[in-house]
Amino acid sequence: MKITKIDTFLVSAVWRNFVIVRLETDEGVVGYGEGTMGDFEKTIAAAVNDFAPFLIGREIEINKITNFLNRNFFWRHGPILSTAISAIEQAMWDAVGKSLKKPVYELLGGRSIDRLRVYANGFISGAQEPEKFAEAAVDVVKQGFTALKFDPFGAAGPTISSEDFKAAIKRIEAVRNAVGDNVDIMIEAHGRFNVRTAINIAHAIEEFNPFWLEEPVPEENIISMREVKQASRVPIATGERLTSVGRFWDLLSSNAADIIQPDVCHVGGIRAFSHVAAMADVNNVAVAPHNPNGPIATAASINALSTVPNALILEYWLDAQTVRRSLVKEYFDISDGYLHPSSKPGLGIEVNEEALTKYQYKKMHLEYFSSDYKYYGDTA
């Protein structure tokens, strides 16, 4: 089965644009992949288009093609190139699975677990009052989720004022009191703090029994991450912005994380995700994929994670539901905080092609950690 055409689509979804890759074959099979990053969407699409002429007419041999894309160009890895390669690789897996009438997870050796736990994110934005955090968290639990993640730190970083520190703790306390002890809460820091501040935060939030503290220091500084981990009794999670298997090797060999968060859109695709998970497994580290992306990436993450014996939990975003549900003909079914991998071939989803052009690209940039924080678009 040979590649005959590769197209990219930019789909507007509230505060980012999903980057979707459509791959056609000479057998009439179409595969889909996703390379959403939150910014630089046109740059990622351009990288996919730059790779495309080297792929048209080639037999779909996934390992051979990804090795070629990763090794046969002078510039390697980095967020743009790795994200473009990830999207192409997912689309190849989808096409091969559809051709063989097998789910991708079966092509990877079969499932290690029958269901995946998920945690909610993207359910609150711009709020300051602890009560608003608590109300949003309760609403998530009413939807059936047993775990949720939020960033309580506002615009703070790399240090935090006493006032902002107290405000953050009040938000966490409000959420914990609202949802009770049987719901897991993850605390997000987005890699903003220095080591001393991060350690102080880890110690202060310990009483609320968080499931993890995520990226307390910049993810590129593995030595600093290890220092925080060694000082913290709260599990440390990181890895969403690591864009190669090699960087995860550095992280794991340094014993700098309790939980790793590879993103199937950025790490190099499904096979690279599997390599990273295997390295984590031999180091007794759990895998909890980063996944603020669209439904195609979610499907790819489900297939990859379901084969992993050290799978912990999958991120599941609640924003932009109109766009998300329009992109696929049957959406994911979550029950009691878990979802079950589809038995359908390929990635297990059927893309609604009309939706690829319905939600036109919008130029946007979200200032995550400034006093001018804004949430773009319709949250329906």
Residue ranges, comma separated, of all CATH 3.30.390.10 domains in the chain are: 3-101
- Percent of the chain at pLDDT > 90 equals 91
> What CATH homologous superfamily does 3-101 map to?
Enolase-like, N-terminal domain (3.30.390.10)
Bridge partner list, 338: 117, 335
Structure tokens belonging to residue 30: 């179409």
CA 33 to centroid of chain Cα atoms:
14
**Which residues have C-beta within 8 Å of that of residue 66, sequence separation ≥ 6?**
85, 89, 268, 269, 271, 272
Among the listed residues 77, 266, 290, 340, the single catalytic one is 290
State pLDDT tens for residues 236-294: 999 999 999 999 999 999 999 999 999 999 999 999 999 999 999 999 999 999 999 99
State the pLDDT at residue 370. 55
pLDDT of residue 377: 43
pLDDT the model gives residue 70: 94
What residues does CATH 3.20.20.120 cover in the chain? 106-347
pLDDT band for 344, please (50, 70, 90 cuts): very high
Q: What is the pLDDT of residues 73-101, one digit of tens each?
A: 998 889 999 999 999 999 999 999 999 99
Q: Is there a catalytic annotation at residue 203?
A: no
pLDDT at residue 38, as a whole number: 86
Q: How many CB atoms lie within 10 A of CB 129?
A: 12
- What confidence score (pLDDT) does residue 14 get? 87
Q: Name, in order, each residue with C-beta under 8 angstroms of 291's C-beta and a sequence gap of 6 or more.
A: 263, 264, 297, 298, 301, 314, 315, 316, 317
Rounded-to-integer distance, Cα 82 and Cα 238, Å: 18
| Confidence bin at 369 (pLDDT 50/70/90) | low
pLDDT above 90 for 378: no
**φ/ψ bin of 33: left (φ > 0), alpha (ψ from -120 to 50), beta (otherwise):** beta
Candidates 190, 203, 275, 365; catalytic one: 190
CATH number of 106-347: 3.20.20.120
Which residues lie closer than 8 Å to 109 by C-beta, 6 or more apart? 307
d(CA 83, CA 315): 18
Does residue 290 have an active-site annotation?
yes
The reported pTM is: 0.94
pLDDT at 374 over 80: no
